[in-house]
Every structure is written in C-alpha cells, then in structure tokens.
Amino acid sequence: MAHLRKNPRQPTYDRAAALAHLADADPKLAKLIARAGPFTMKLAGGQSPFEALLESIIYQQLHGKAAATIHRRLLDSFIPVCGLDHLGEAVHPAAQHLLDCPNEQLRQAGLSHNKALALRDLAAKTLDGTVPTLARIRRMSDEDVIEHLTQVRGIGKWTVEMFLIFRLGRPDILPVSDYGVRKGFALTFGKLKPTDKVTPMDLPKPDVMERRAKRWHPWCSVVSWYLWRACDLANTDKADAPKPKPRKPRPAAAI
C-alpha cells in the first residue's frame, strides 16, 4: 500500500455509487462494509510514476520504519545536487540523477545491491519511455500499465496493482496475491475466525476470489480496501477476546 502521502486526495470515482452497488450485489460484503464504516481511502497525490515506483521498490520486504529511513536517506543524499523545496525538504532526484550517482551513495543510504540495481533500471526505463509519464499513463488501460511497468527489474504485478489503486485511483483492481486481501477474503467469505492461526490452507486461491469478484466489478479496488479493513477488525477482535484463565496446578499425589 502507499507509504508517503504528500498532498493526499480522494479518489475521483463515485464512492457512494460503488458502495451501493457492492452492498446490493453481495450481502456478506455489505455486512463488512457496515461494520468497517465509511470508505476513507486516500490517494498518494503529487508523485510521478518514477517517484512512486522508486518508493515502492525501497519498501519491498522491509519493515515500514526501516524503509522510510532508507528512503529519506536516499532523498537527502541528493540535496547537494537537487536542493530543498519551499518546505525545507529534499527535492526528489530525477531519473538522470539516479543514473549518474555513484554506487557508494546508494549503499550509504542503506540500499541492498539488488535494490540499487532495480532503482537504476527504473531510472533507465523512465528515460527511455518504458515507464510512461503520468499524463500518458492516465490514458492507458490497467492491463497496459501492468505490462509496461513489470518490465522494470524488481517490479512485479503486485507492485503495479498498488500503484494503480493508491496513486492512479483505478477503481477495479483486485490484487489476488496480496496476503491481506486473501486473509480478509477468508475472514469475510470463508471459515477463518479472528482467533484462528492462519495457515496456507485457510487462504483462498485466485480463481475462487475472481469468481466472487464477478459481482463486484467495476469496484474491486473498493472491495480490496474493505478486505484490508477486515484484517484490522480481526486484530481488534483478537485483542479484545477474553483470555483463558490459567489452570490451577494440581496438587501432587500423595506418596
């Protein structure tokens, strides 16, 4: 999901129409929507595709705080070249800046060798047009965006799906490989309970999710957001569940 949210904004699609359609099409989903409350998702506004994808690569497989630190170090390392904005924050480097910087600069920011290679490939493919401009990408279909961006080293379909949902505000994306979406699906439509330990057998397969999603189109992004909320609600339920009372030790048998 999106991490830094400069200039957060609401999606441009009709959220009321989406919720009305989903509640009418799927009664079980309607119960989740009622419990989770209003759809309050915000988009990560103000980022170019290069900036958003650079951030996504850094955050892959890292704890949020650690990734944020590396991201900040990387941006700060370009201050001598790019300067500061009107708020006193580091101006984001352009693709050419990243290509021109020494390897040591990326290492000192905390980037692994593979992530450094991925960022350089992202920069190169931004300059050659493989990664489209924001104006162009907004005119492309979801499938075309995925096809273009997954050509970049280190960027898979899931990363592009997060970009489509949280940067472009596309309304009909269901990331069937996302753990949180799969767990939320199992909690909402399967037999998984908040107190259960999740096993791979509990999580639905993509075809199961896609069959149910036929009733959700064209609002699967909204459903995805609510499935993530289902996980949050389950964590709350688990924390609030009464703890089992400790058993009193049995007295030792008389000898």
pLDDT digits (tens, 9 = 90+) for 155-212: 999 999 999 999 999 999 999 999 999 999 999 999 999 999 999 999 999 999 999 9
| Closest C-alpha to 189, from 212, 216, 205, 166 | 212
Burial 85-111 (b: 16+ CB within 10 A, else e): eeeeebebbbbeebbebeeebbeebbb
User: And the tokens for 6?
Assistant: 């400069």
Q: What is the pLDDT of residues 47-79, one digit of tens each?
A: 899 999 999 999 988 888 999 999 999 999 999
State the pLDDT at residue 85. Answer: 87
Report residue 150's pLDDT band, with 50, 70 and 90 as the boundaries.
Answer: very high
User: Residue 84 pairs with which residues in a beta bridge?
Assistant: 90
What angle is formed at CA 1 by the lines to CA 99 and CA 137, rounded to 5 degrees? Answer: 55
Model confidence pLDDT, tens digit, residues 97-143: 999 999 999 999 999 999 999 999 999 999 999 999 999 999 999 99
251 prior amide bond cis, ω within 30: no
pTM of the model: 0.85
* Integer CA distances (angstroms), 245 to 193, 226, 236, 237, in order: 21, 34, 20, 18
